[in-house]
């Protein structure tokens, strides 16, 4: 009972710590959304407005996902589903990467080949979601009839992903050459903007309070409006070390029409999965290998259980500098069983047997103590469980590339929209140092946000 209470207390402590980290992420994303909204109202460059609108969608999606995850954890805690029960094992986590995203377009002959029709141009980006984590791709602007596909060079990497994951791709599109208009704006939203405009300085406030209804899209989103046009959901069965083709599901518009950008209905990407059992040891320690059964002669090794094998080294120091003396396969065809105590003198002995179509590998190993024996037994069972859960992803080590810097969450980026957006106003008041008052106020706001971002980044290391 004492051990069970200790495990329960430890699990609750870990859960509270995770909830605190998640709440910190939510608070930061809310502040980043507020800062982006203020800056978007003051920005004049169309490309900066597009980038800011994309960041708002990403930030809002993260906030929603973080809040859902926080609610899920709270519900699970109340229902008692997060308690650690001694002896229960769960499959290891994994790294999952999405790269080489390419979306073919299917223009009409008159548009693409005969160079006729209107000059429709679009801006497109993607959100990739797994669990509570969301990453955005780069923004591709000026997509027109001369392009046969939309290609993204981004490499998106998720860490600590469970085996039952679902990876969702969302494609957002904005038509560039048409201005947005809406019939009316709710009074509450207008009031929020009027209240908000007074907090960023007089001249910048004029920009905010003077915005037309066409600049306000529900939920206080300024500037260009991106529509969710198509989605796709991938899982472990879709993982491969090469680029494959997957289906896209078109999202209906508000009026039930089809979006003008002619998607082909399919897209290509590479979904790579690298389970931790291939890169991180399930168990390490000393084991005694029976090398002569007649004489009951054993040889002592430092053993490392990972990547579908038990690697045997002469010493712990050789693990990183030398090749193993022996590699015992531990695959889906492996069975671990107790050894007959009437035959082997050491009571902590077990068999590791692997059968293939052409051969049978049988090794007899023994631990130094009952405690070590139980740890190794659990380690082998864990490794076999990981292989069963991750299926074909453990048969060949897939290459997970390094994540693109631009795909890191907003608070992990070294540079951002805030560093690149000039704030200019022909009618501005300057202080004695030559800096406009509204620029100073926005700079202070940005510095505050980026300082908090650095703190969060530092805590995450």
Range in 70-84, 255-269, 324-338 the model is least confident about: 70-84
* Rounded Cα gap, residues 173 and 269, in angstroms: 19
- On whether both 159 and 259 belong to a single domain, the answer is yes
11-15, 93-97, 287-291, 397-401: which is most confident: 93-97
Q: What is the mean pLDDT of the chain?
A: 77
- On whether both 150 and 258 belong to a single domain, the answer is yes
In a domain, 435, yes or no: no
* Rounded Cα gap, residues 220 and 403, in angstroms: 31
Residue-level pLDDT at 98: 97
Phi and psi torsions of 159, nearest 5°: -110, 155
Nearest residue to 262 (alpha-carbon basis) of 151, 173, 153, 168 = 173
Q: Which of 394, 417, 452 is the last residue of a domain?
A: 394
- On whether both 158 and 96 belong to a single domain, the answer is yes
- On whether both 50 and 161 belong to a single domain, the answer is no
Q: Give the CA-trace dihedral at 328, 329, 333, 339, to 10 degrees.
A: 10
- On whether both 108 and 35 belong to a single domain, the answer is no
- Strand 94-104, strand 266-275: pairing: antiparallel
Strand partners, 8: none
DSSP per-residue codes, 416-427 = -HHHH-----SS
Q: Are 73 and 132 in contact (CB under 8 A)?
A: no
CATH number for the domain spanning 252: value is 2.60.40.150
The mean per-residue pLDDT over the stretch 279-288 comes to 96
This prediction's pTM:
0.74
In a domain, 295, yes or no: yes
In a domain, 204, yes or no: no
- On whether both 172 and 99 belong to a single domain, the answer is yes
Phi and psi torsions of 238, nearest 5°: -90, -5
- On whether both 368 and 256 belong to a single domain, the answer is no
* pLDDT tens, residue by residue, 346-394: 889 999 999 988 889 999 999 999 999 999 999 999 999 999 999 999 9
- On whether both 296 and 312 belong to a single domain, the answer is yes
- On whether both 330 and 254 belong to a single domain, the answer is no
Q: Which of 394, 427, 453 is the last residue of a domain?
A: 394
Report the domain count for the chain.
Answer: 3
Q: Give the list of residues 6+ apart from residue 205 with CB closer than 8 angstroms, or none.
A: 197, 198, 199
Strand partners, 173: 124, 227
Category of 436 on φ-ψ map: left (φ > 0), alpha (ψ -120 to 50) or beta: beta
- On whether both 240 and 104 belong to a single domain, the answer is yes
Strand partners, 112: none
Category of 356 on φ-ψ map: left (φ > 0), alpha (ψ -120 to 50) or beta: beta
In a domain, 303, yes or no: yes
* Rounded Cα gap, residues 301 and 278, in angstroms: 21
* pLDDT tens, residue by residue, 289-329: 999 877 878 999 999 999 999 999 999 999 999 999 999 99
Total Cβ atoms within 10 A of residue 285: 17
**Domain with 13 in it:** 1-78
* pLDDT tens, residue by residue, 245-277: 999 999 887 766 667 788 888 999 999 999 999
- On whether both 228 and 348 belong to a single domain, the answer is no
* Rounded Cα gap, residues 25 and 20, in angstroms: 9
* pLDDT tens, residue by residue, 178-200: 433 333 334 444 454 455 444 43
Q: Which of 229, 258, 276 is the last residue of a domain?
A: 276
- On whether both 323 and 229 belong to a single domain, the answer is no
């Amino acid at each position: 009972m004492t051990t069970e209470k200790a495990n329960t207390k430890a699990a609750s402590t870990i859960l509270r710590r995770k909830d605190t980290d998640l709440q910190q992420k939510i608070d930061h994303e809310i502040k980043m959304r507020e800062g982006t909204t203020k800056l978007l109202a003051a920005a004049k460059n169309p490309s900066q407005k597009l980038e800011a609108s994309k960041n708002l969608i990403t930030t809002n999606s993260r906030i929603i996902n973080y809040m859902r995850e926080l609610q899920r954890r709270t519900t699970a805690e109340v229902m008692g589903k997060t308690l650690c029960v001694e002896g229960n094992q769960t499959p290891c986590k994994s790294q999952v990467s999405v790269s080489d995203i390419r979306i073919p377009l299917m223009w009409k002959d008159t548009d693409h080949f005969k160079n006729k029709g209107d000059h429709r141009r679009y801006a497109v980006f993607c959100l990739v979601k797994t669990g509570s984590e969301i990453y955005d791709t780069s923004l591709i602007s000026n997509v027109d009839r001369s392009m046969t596909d939309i290609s993204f060079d981004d490499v998106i990497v998720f860490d600590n992903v469970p085996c039952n994951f679902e990876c969702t791709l969302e494609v957002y599109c904005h038509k560039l050459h048409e201005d947005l208009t809406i019939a009316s704006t709710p009074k509450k939203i207008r009031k929020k903007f009027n209240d908000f405009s007074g907090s960023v300085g007089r001249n910048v406030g004029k920009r905010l309070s003077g915005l037309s209804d066409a600049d306000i899209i529900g939920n206080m989103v300024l500037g260009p409006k991106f529509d969710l046009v198509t989605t796709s959901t991938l899982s472990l069965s879709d993982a491969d070390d090469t680029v494959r083709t997957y289906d896209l599901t078109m999202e209906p518009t508000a009026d039930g029409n089809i979006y003008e950008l002619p998607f082909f209905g399919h897209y290509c990407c590479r979904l790579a999965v690298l389970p931790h059992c291939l890169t991180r040891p399930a168990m390490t320690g000393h084991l005694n290998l029976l090398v002569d059964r007649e004489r009951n002669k054993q040889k002592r090794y430092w053993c490392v259980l990972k990547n579908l094998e038990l690697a045997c080294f002469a010493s712990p120091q050789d693990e990183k500098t030398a090749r193993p003396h022996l590699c015992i396969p531990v695959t889906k065809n492996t069975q671990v069983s107790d050894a007959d105590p009437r035959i082997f003198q050491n009571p902590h002995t077990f068999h590791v047997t692997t059968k293939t179509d052409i051969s049978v590998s049988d090794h007899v190993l023994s631990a130094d103590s009952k405690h070590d024996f139980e740890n190794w037994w659990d380690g082998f069972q864990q490794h076999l469980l990981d292989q069963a859960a991750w299926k074909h992803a453990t048969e060949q080590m897939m290459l997970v590339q390094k994540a693109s810097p631009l795909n890191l969450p907003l608070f992990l980026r070294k540079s951002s929209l805030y560093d690149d957006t000039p704030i200019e106003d022909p009618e501005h008041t300057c202080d004695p140092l030559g800096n406009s008052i509204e620029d100073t106020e926005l700079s202070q706001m940005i510095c505050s946000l980026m300082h908090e971002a650095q703190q969060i980044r530092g805590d995450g290391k």
